[in-house]
Amino acid sequence: MKKVEFSPSLMTMDLDQFKEQITFLNDHVGSYHIDIMDGHYVPNITLSPWFIQEVRKISNLPLSAHLMVTNPSFWVQQLVDLKCEWICMHAEVLDGLAFRLIDQIQDAGLKAGVVLNPETPIDTIFPYIDLVDKITIMTVDPGFAGQRFIDSTLDKIVALRELREEEGYRYVIEMDGSSSRKTFKKIDAAGPDIYIVGRSGLFGLSEDIETSWKTMCQDYEDMTQKVLS
């Protein structure tokens, strides 16, 4: 059975327990998901490259920056300079920029990802799908935590898995949005490689991060009938 990877969305963590939560999660997850919002592409403003520097002080795990911004060119070099392992950009703002920014990221020895909103079809990224290292499927509208899960987005995960197998592409598939006890079963059926977990799936389950983690794992096992290793 394929191992499930959970990537906590640090936007939704309790910043009063920043060090405690990161220190615990370091031993249990494969990466961290860091949302960077500019207040234009989405209304919110949250986190920044500075936050990546703070996480680096207490974690050596790979960091994945999700750029919810209208001008990815402004942010990419900052993240390259910080050696952020994954830099993921929305397909909707990459017209005329995709090849240059993917090269800029990969030439620095880092990994380039592309993110698809619920309304954005997979064929939008066909011109460069063979180049990207990760594809993130938004299962909610971007920019806010706690939104309604959009079931139809799971079809894109299935299609991307089939396409990867047929064409030999190298990308990993990630889902982002409302991953929790209510949705684990249908997400598991679609089969992404990485589950981003936020407030509903992890941080909001208890004030204690260890209890939250154990509850999340039990929720996953209960709903999928699969045992996490």
- Judge whether 90 is annotated as a binding position: no
- Judge whether 35 is annotated as a binding position: yes
- Judge whether 212 is annotated as a binding position: no
Residue-wise DSSP of 24-81: HHTTT-S-EEEEEEESSSSS-EE--HHHHHHHHTT--S-EEEEEE-S-HHHHHHHHHH
Which residues belong to the active site?
Answer: 35, 176
- Judge whether 177 is annotated as a binding position: yes
- Any idea which residue has 């942010």 for tokens? 75
The strand order across the sheet containing 172-176 reads 5-8, 194-197, 172-176, 134-138, 111-116, 86-90, 63-68, 32-38, 45-46
Q: From the CB of residue 111, how many other CB atoms can be counted at a distance below 10 Å?
A: 21
- Judge whether 14 is annotated as a binding position: no
- Judge whether 178 is annotated as a binding position: yes
Distance (Å, rounded) from C-alpha 210 to C-alpha 24? Answer: 7
Please provide residue 147's backbone torsions phi and psi, each rounded to the nearest 5 degrees.
Answer: -90, 170
Q: Are 160 and 173 in contact (CB under 8 A)?
A: yes
Q: From the CB of residue 226, how many other CB atoms can be counted at a distance below 10 Å?
A: 14
Annotated binding site for a divalent metal cation: 33, 35, 66, 176
Annotated binding site for substrate: 66, 143-146, 176-178
Annotated binding site: 33, 35, 66, 143-146, 176-178
